[in-house]
Amino acid sequence: MNVLIVTESCFGNTARVARAVAAGLRSKGAEVTIAEAAAAPALDGVDLLLVGAPTHNMGLPGPASRGQAATKGGNPPATGVAEWLDRLSGFGGRAATFDTVTGTGFFSGSAAKGIQKRLRRSRVDVVARESFVVKATEGPLADGELDRAELWGAALA
């Protein structure tokens, strides 16, 4: 199974989750490529697409929230998952989405939920969605979250 993980990260936490999910998938024999959204390859031959981003202002990062992340010491990309989704068309495989959040309550919001909505609007079959908790805006991830990400990846395979 060929898996492509498309991500965006300002402080490195979502990127860390992506690597843990990839390790889980690889443990079950999947071929996994991780790409930053701005440099993601074409989707030819991809069986499972994973899209992950940090939650910003209850949803997907955009130019303004990336600017806010930079003022807090982050290193945001110029463009990310939202812009990549703008260009997505004709993907016929399955997909799953993930994000990082500072809390899991209703008022935390979820970038993964926004990604799921946009993928479904593009008629992509979204089979799973998961959030991983960071202790603060800049991280680190809460205890056990990287292990949980690896297990989630293995289960997806």
Ligand X SMILES: Cc1cc2nc3c(=O)[nH]c(=O)nc-3n(C[C@H](O)[C@H](O)[C@H](O)COP(=O)(O)O)c2cc1C
* Least distance in angstroms from the C-beta of 98 to ligand X: 11
User: Is 56 a binder of ligand X (CB under 6 A)?
Assistant: yes
Token pair for 114: 């926004």
Exactly one of 23, 43, 77, 137 binds ligand X (CB under 6 A); that residue is 137
* Least distance in angstroms from the C-beta of 60 to ligand X: 11
Q: Nearest CA to 84 among 129, 46, 115?
A: 115
Residue 133, C-beta contacts closer than 8 angstroms, at least 6 positions apart: 100, 101, 102, 103, 104, 141, 142, 145
User: Is 97 a binder of ligand X (CB under 6 A)?
Assistant: no
* Residue placing its CB nearer to ligand X in the complex, 80 or 94: 80
**Choices 37-45, 81-89, 132-140, 143-151; region in contact with ligand X by CB under 6 A:** 132-140
* Residue placing its CB nearer to ligand X in the complex, 24 or 114: 114
Contact indicator for 117, 99 with CB cutoff of 8 Å:
no
